[in-house]
Structure 1
Amino acid sequence: MGEVSTLEFLGGELRRVRRERGLSQEDLAQRINYSSSLIGMVEIGHRTPSQDFVGRVDAALASGGFFERLLTLVRADAAPPWLREWIQVEAEATLIRWFEPSLIPGLLQTEAYARAVLAGGGMLREAEIEQRITSRLARQEVLTRETPPEVVFVVDEAVLRRRIGGPKVLAEQFDHLLDVIEWAHVDLHVVPAEAGMHAGLAGAFILARTSEGGEVAHVDTPLRAHVTDRSEDVDSLQRRWENLRGEALPRRASRQLMREVAASWT
């Protein structure tokens, strides 16, 4: 058996304590007002419980805040080790510039879209998918903190038209997208299909400006994220960014295109 994740450990402890109290999943479900199927999913590490869920479990099982403390550990452990350095950079950035050629950027993904992306590749176990989703949703708090960074996204038009998770998932994703881009500190531009070959087709990348004015770059590979502040790497990506901004539609035209595509998913 492989290493047990913190999410699987929480689930195992929930099953153990529930049984010690002589309760079935249905008994506990009635006491906390959640479904027994959700309790079952949590117990096998296939769903990350919410703060409300663990609070009710602690009350029902008289476990003295044990599961709330475990949830804190699950969240802290949710990001893959190779991504943690970048998450720290992202959390402290004053400006984030993000280009994506194939998927909605992670900071803008709904939970259902993120789950469809992570499950769709068939490369991750259920517990790993849940941990990645927990990490991704926690990262999004950077957009709603008291003094958020300025965030500029550029995406290829193919991102908007890629069928991920089906029409219901996409309709919800576009509702969310159209809400978030109304925020004063968030901007999104689309490189239209007629641009043809462009500098972004080599792959996704992110540039983050630190509070000291330095720049750090993040480049994804199939194996792990590569984080660098080497000036030649950063300069190369900044040139690529400027090229992409030149190809992208202006703000108003980008929003109009998004609305048109959103209508096709409803």
Structure 2
Amino acid sequence: MSEIHASGYSPTIKKRALSRKLVAARKEAGLTTTEVCRRLRWSATKLNYIEKAKWITPNSDAVTDLCDLYGIEGDERQALKRLAQGARERGWWTRYNDVFRSEFPGFEAAASSIRTYQTIYLPGLLQTAAYMKALPPVVGIEDPAEIKRHVDARLKRQQLLTRPEAPCRLHAVIDENVIARMVDPRIREPQLRHLVEMTALPHVTVQLVPTGAGLYQGAGEAFTHLGFSDPGERDIVFLETAVDARMLEEKDELRTYMLRFGRLCAVALDPQATRDRLIEVIE
């Protein structure tokens, strides 16, 4: 079995890595899922949840049973156990399960790079508190306490851009109509100034697609691509709809969205021109 990486910022990623390693171990042992379930007297659902990283809190006993069955001993066995222990930790985002509808914050917390394209709202990592506060009422959330929780959760997310060790790299392509929709001057000017300040960070790149671009290549639904420094981790593309959030990770899917992001970057203003444009709008 390939080397096990148990480090990282996120238990969500550790859970995903654990599941991937257990699948690889099963295949190396030459066992089918049916054979594993028969030998361990497990239901197919239980094994599927383990191998698809759907288990809520990885069970050490289940990992031990699989190690016994697959003949995993020594350092590899201990590494898997440590990975399972780390995967059971609770990330900060679990305190906001009423705010986040998916595991996206857990994956985002472990990302080394984020590429995002937005057409309606500013990327969450670049929003001011005032902008955040204006968003919940758009989807029918009016309770002040609930709005505060949304703002607190979003501000917590932004810490990955300012963490002292290896801050995440962010590259955002934003349709200029997002800027035009900010009509409240109490929100608009502080938010634009914040964007300008963020573009000064060496690990943050912002590009605007000008309204003058007309119908442009790559236009369509918003998406976010998460990249991971661990070569064993496969990148992810997240698509959020009114119904649910989809996670794409097949190679052809990732390739499609990376090509699309490249087209968007090509049609957008370059980073310096974007910064100049933001300053022009403020003035």
Confirm or deny a common fold (TM above 0.5). Answer: yes
- Whether the aligned pair in 2 keeps the contact of 1:79 and 1:135 (CA below 8 Å) is no
Q: TM-score, normalised by structure 2?
A: 0.62
Q: Paired residue for 1:110? A: 128
Q: Tell me the equivalent position of 2:177.
A: 158
Q: Which string of whole-angstrom CA distances, capped at 9 and with x for unpartnered residues, describes residues 87-110 of structure 1?
A: 111111111101111211100101
- Give the distance between the partners of 1:201 and 1:261, measured in 2 at CA: 23
CA offsets 1:146-185 (integer angstroms, 9 cap, x no match): 2112111110111111125x10111111121111110110
- The Cα RMSD (Å) is 2.3
Normalised by the size of structure 1, how large is the TM-score? Answer: 0.66
Question: What one-letter code is carried by the residue in structure 2 that aligns with 1:226?
Answer: R
Q: How far 1:128 sits from its partner (Å)?
A: 3.5
Separation in 2, partners of 1:243, 1:109:
25
Distance, in Å, in 1 between the alignment partners of 2:142 and 2:256 is: 32
Check whether the contact 2:175–2:210 (CA below 8 A) recurs between aligned residues.
Answer: yes
Conserved 8 A contact 2:102-2:245: no
Q: Is the 8 A contact 1:200 1:240 kept in 2?
A: yes
Summarize deviations over 1:103-154 as a string: whole Å, max 9, x none: 1110010111011122233256444333222211110001001211211111
Q: Aligned pair count? A: 191
- Is residue 115 of structure 2 the alignment partner of residue 92 of structure 1? no
Q: Secondary structure at the match of 2:174?
A: strand
Larger Rg: 2
Structure 1: gaps of 5 or more residues: 1-71
Q: Deviations over 1:232-261 (max 9, x none)?
A: 322221121011011011111111111112
Evaluate the alpha carbon distance shift between residue 200 and residue 206 of structure 1 in structure 2; reply closer, same or farther with a 3 A threshold. same
Are the structure 2 counterparts of residues 73 and 150 from structure 1 closer, same or farther at C-alpha, using a change threshold of 3 Å? closer
Letter paired with 1:116: A
The amino acid of 2:178's aligned partner reads V
2:148 aligned counterpart, secondary structure:
helix
The structural deviation recorded for 1:208 is 0.8
> Per the alignment, in what secondary structure is the counterpart of residue 201 of structure 1?
coil
Name the residue aligned to 2:245.
225
Query: CA 1:170–1:79 in structure 2 vs 1: closer, same or farther (change >3 Å)?
Result: farther
Cα distance change on mapping 1:178 and 1:81 into 2, 3 Å: closer
Q: Is the 8 A contact 1:101 1:204 kept in 2?
A: yes
1:177 aligns with 2:195: yes
Structure 2 gap ranges (5+): 1-89
Aligned pairs for 1:48-197 (under 5 A) are 76-80=94-98, 83-123=101-141, 125-146=143-164, 147-163=166-182, 166-197=184-215
Q: Does 1:246 align with 2:266?
A: yes
Identity %: 29
For 1:110, the aligned partner's letter is T
Q: Distance in 2 between matches of 1:91 and 1:75?
A: 9
